Amino acid sequence: MQTLTNEELESKIKEFIETAEKFDERYRHKIFEVLLAEYLSSLKAPERVAQEAEITIPAPVQQTPSKFVIPIDVRAFLQQYGIPEDKIQNIFVIDGENIRPTYHIKTTAKSEAQIQVALLTALENALRPGGRFEFSMEAVRQRCKDEVVYDAKNFSAHFKNNIGLFKSLKDEEHVELSPDGKAELADAILAITE
């Protein structure tokens, strides 16, 4: 801080008091404080003022994709059916907890395509933290529409005709794959990744 003599400081304070007295009494005290604070801050060494005025903007954080760890149930499934783990990256884009399907159903038979969509949706759900090999019928219906394999007239019938692939169709929000369903899922993975 720049050194001041007592006389210089007293002179400035008197000047600030005189300036403040030109205003309404209710504002005088605040005006005096502001003038004094401004004056004292201007006395700081230029490099210190520059340091205090410098706004440090943190460097942008590099968003590196989170390393995805395949859940143990999915790893066990892949190992059981001899499917390499890298096949997962062929059918899904995974970034942290975000999972997006990239597969394209190759079969033209809508009945088979709808079942494949359901099985792959169950796999996608199993990849999520705490997920299970299950799907919602409504989510599969929408996916089938998106993939242009939706057979509105026979949608439910295709699932009933393949009831052995599922533990039950009673709870349409949580249709879980049976052991046969997992075997069929393994075939579906191989079919769409080859």
Q: What is the mean pLDDT of the chain?
A: 85
181 pLDDT more than 50: yes
Number of residues assigned to the chain: 194
pLDDT at residue 16, as a whole number: 84
Banded pLDDT at 24 (limits 50, 70, 90): confident
Residue 163's pLDDT band (cuts 50, 70, 90): very high
Position 35 scores a pLDDT of 84
**Pick from 39, 30, 34: nearest CA to 11:** 39
CA contacts within 13 A on the Cβ side of 57 = 1
Given this model, what pLDDT does residue 49 score?
47
- Which band of pLDDT confidence, cut at 50, 70 and 90, is reported for residue 60? low
**Domains recognised in the chain with CATH numbers:** 6-53 (no CATH), 72-193 (1.10.10)
Q: What is the mean pLDDT of residues 21-25?
A: 83
Q: Which amino acid is at 72?
A: I
**CB 160 within 8 Å of CB 174:** no
Average of per-residue pLDDT across 133-152: 93
| Residue 164: DSSP 8-state | G
pLDDT of residue 20: 82
Handedness of CA 94, 95, 96, 98 (dihedral sign): negative
The 10s digit of each residue's pLDDT in 93-135 is: 988 778 999 988 888 899 999 999 999 999 999 999 889 999 9
Q: How far is CA 1 from CA 7, 30, 32, 41, 42, in A?
A: 17, 24, 21, 9, 9
Res 9 pLDDT > 50: yes
Using the Cα atoms of residue 156, residue 162, residue 165 and residue 168 in order, give the sign of their dihedral: positive
